[in-house]
Chain A
Amino acid sequence: MSFFGFNTTLPRDRAPPGDQRGIFDAPDPFAEVARAQAAGLQADDDDVIDFEDTYDGLGDQLDEDQDEFNDDTFGGGGDTGGVGRDFDFFGKTAQVADVIGEEQIRYGLQKPQGSVIPPAAETAATLAAVEAAAAQKPKRSGYEKYEDPGYIPDLQAKSSVWSAHKKTEPSFQAPSLAKKMMSLEEVEAQMRQHPTAPPPGLSQPPVSLPQPMPDLSHFQQPLQPPLPEGFPHLPPEFVQAQLAKGIPPSQLLPPPPMVPEHFPMPGHAPNIPLHLLQNAHLPPQAMTPPQRQAMPPRAQRPYPQQQPQQQQQPQQQPQPPVIPQGPRAQANQMPMVTNPQQLMHLNEEQRIAYLMEDARRAKRNHKIFLLSKGNGLMTPQDKNFITRIQLQQLVAAAGNVADFDSEAVLSEDFYYQVYSQIRGAPRQHPHQPLGHFAQTYLLQTGNRLGGHGSRRHGNSADNHMQRMQQQVQRAVEAAKQKPKNKQLIIEGSLGKISFGNAKAPKPMLNIKRPDSSEGAKTTKKAHADLSLSDRKSILANIEGVYSALMELEDMERTMPPPPDENDPEAIQQHMEWRQKVRALNQKLWQKLKVMEPIVPNTNHPHPFIAFLSCPKGKKAIPRIFRQIDQEQRVTILTMIVVNLDTLDVVRRAQLMPGETQLSLAVREAIELFSQAVMPSLLGYVNEAPFNIIIGLLGLVIAQTHVEMVAKTRIGLGILTMLLSRAEIVKEAGQATERDWQQWVEKFNVLFDTLEPIFPDLFPHSINAGDDMYVWQFLAAVGIGASPEQQQRLVIAVKDRVMETVTYSKTLPADMASQRLGNVNLFMRAIGLDVELLG
């Protein structure tokens, strides 16, 4: 391919001759134009659209003088006979832009290339210039996006481009683009090609830095810059011109860039008089820097509809004197300077700033140009191919090569799939069975808990829980922390050092553990009541529960459709499914170990209570309650009530003498218990029959240390739950006389037990404000109490009532009303009101 003595490694030649159009690259119709012209320059093929049809006549308005430099521009001689004014650019382009026959056309065009071109030296030189310009013109600089000042790199934006497993990528846009482009740019390019009568202004060689010079003399040397000779040589005239504008040379002449730069600046270009283009009647947009002045005005004319396309697709014209990015981008980024007058009006400082900015931009554009020479080595097809390889690997890793089915996606990409749903993204494949999971985890997630309350009482009950949360948080923040002394526990052997692999990574720590188990024990004082093995087995139990739970949740997804009475197969299927669910339910129940016998007088808590002492166990309760029946629920509730004083949130929630606040860990545990466990329990209690409520209260009194239970938030919460439910049952008239008598008996015992400590139920001094749940409990007691009991109740807590009323007067209005509201909840329960206290 070295017909013309060129460096044959020009980018055009290196780029594979294959289809350039793929999903990664905007179609580039001008690649074909260039080749078509190089090859068929002589051919008069004007069958599509005539030049006159598309010519807007703008060229005729230009001054037809200032031709002195035409020869410099177009290689002297004036003998460019091959290129006539009547060459049909548009026709050519439209022809080659026909995407269907693209491959064949290109092949056809390239092959006869050598034979079509006449060997005459001069013509060859002209053609060589044309070719070189075309070849040198980058298809894509790769930096197009940066021409857009608002550009934010965003992979997402491209995702649409990717979405193709379809093969329909090829350049569907090409024809229309080609036509649009042709109507303006190409026609003028044709004008410029005319060697004899170039319109002034248009004929000027572009001096703008990033331009490849389509100047013949320069193309005689190889343009592919070899490694640097060092500093780029700016023509002295250019520098002077800049200096005249007040730009310090240091800014004009950048420090040598990392990659060798090569300014293809024609030595004579700066000879253009600076006023030359200022006289042109097409207003240049921003005048002062010579490179801008020298810009053919047509490049500065607005082409609104063309602009975006050009940024995407630098053209491959035979003589493309202007890289589209250059002037337009500049005009874009400096909107305040749109004509020379404006620049004049700027003060010196602004002007220098503007000029420097301009020089900087020109410099960058030049860099982009230099970098872009090797662009396209990797074709869109290559990129696409690699992407597909990777996608295939991903599918293969998911274990199911045959089809990218939803089960495989779920198992391998569970977190992402469910997470994006929970955080509110509709799925890409709407038929994936994920909604179920999203719901599961939505239920589990923090403040979305709840919703299990009864229709009658549920909302206020939930709100009451949530309001309690807020109260606690406020207290937590107000009070200073008193961290307990905790020591790091190193669990498990970390093993010996070895070179690892992906399956068994090399351990980075090699800590020798004390030989005796004694030594290990001393390090974990913080969990003194649980041996290491206990803790391990508890955690293992929890995992067992979770795996059964997850199996059950999976079953929900595969529930067969409701059986048709007449379809024995469907009925059979359904029966089997129910069978499996039942088996899994039993498995879950066993793993929960609720039914294990209660061993009295042991320091090992019941396995289910131990389960509940872990955050993971607490968090599982709402999910478990969804999967079990009423009987299992009441069993769990009973188990909790019986062991109330061994529950971690009760046992560890006792303030030691001298302590004013529970440790952070305990407070967190209480918080989690109220968020995760209480709503489920409340949900059950609010539906429970009266005899169960009576039985539960009896258990609290008989089996637990009531004073201890009552001094904790969770304990009081459960008592409040029972008392208020009893009241509702009674009000609703659902309680038999006998049941009610039984209830009153139990209630009296409770009242008598707690009476001495009513004032002590309040955990903190009055200003801590964390006493709402106590008022709620007192209110629940007050409702059920006899008038005589109410009297005693008032006597027991009247100091706190008065204190709170007095204290709230010192508070801001909203806080005061909140505090008084809490008190009033109790006062109203016994038929009083804080208003009455004056």
Chain B
Amino acid sequence: MLFFSFFKTLTNQTVTIELKNDIRIRGTLKSVDQYLNIKLDDVDVLDLDKYPHLSSVKNMFIRGSVVRYVVLPRSEVDVGLLEDATRREAANQAGKAR
């Protein structure tokens, strides 16, 4: 649940998502769910010429499993807190595995 928790804090931030088929989409992250599906608003498809089928799309639901990267705004990430969250997650996982 760490990534879910993490992406939740990026709501309403502008992110760029690169899919596994190389499409890159910039937009406002409106929501994320437990599968890390992502809802983007006001999307802007980079290299739109190559993807004419996305030319009139304004909002998008992206399946989490096809995402390769998410480019985030650095200022919106609290690294120290994220480190501790990661430690907690690791401890949780270890606890569950036992």
Contacts and interface: CB of A to CB of B under 8 A. Distances in A.
Direct contact of A and B (CB under 8 A): yes
Kindly name the residue among B59, B84, B85 whose own CB sees the greatest number of chain A CB atoms within 10 A. B84
Interface residues of B, number: 28
A441 interface: yes
A453 to B, nearest CB: 22
B1 A413 contact: yes
A413 B5 contact: yes
B24 interface: no
A398 B1 contact: yes
B55 interface: no
Contacts of B88: 411, 414, 550
Contact of A415 (B2, B31, B39): B2
B78 A445 contact: yes
Interface in B1-49: 1-2, 4-6, 8-9, 12, 30-31, 33-34, 39, 41
| Chief secondary structure at chain A's binding surface | helix
| Chief secondary structure at chain B's binding surface | helix
Interface in B67-89: 78, 80-85, 87-89
A418 B6 CA distance: 11
A163 B6 CA distance: 22
Nearest to B2: A415
A256 to B, nearest CB: 15
B91 interface: yes
A429 to B, nearest CB: 16
A394 B59 contact: no
Interface in A119-169: 153-156
Contacts of A155: 30-31, 39
A546 B81 CA distance: 12
Contacts of A394: 34
Contact of A153 (B6, B41, B78, B85): B41
Contact of A616 (B81, B83, B85): B83
Contact of A416 (B9, B39, B89): B9
A154 B42 CA distance: 11
A509 to B, nearest CB: 14
A419 B78 contact: yes
Contact of A419 (B2, B9, B34, B41): B9
Nearest to A399: B96
Nearest to A258: B56
A443 B96 CA distance: 31
A438 to B, nearest CB: 10
B9 A420 contact: yes
Interface in A735-788: none
Contacts of B83: 546, 616
Interface string A375-412: 00000000000000010011001110000000000011
Interface of A: 153-156, 390, 393-394, 397-399, 411-420, 422-423, 441, 444-445, 543, 546-547, 550, 616, 619
14 contacts: A153-B30, A153-B41, A399-B96, A412-B1, A414-B89, A415-B85, A418-B81, A419-B9, A422-B78, A422-B81, A441-B84, A445-B78, A445-B80, A546-B83
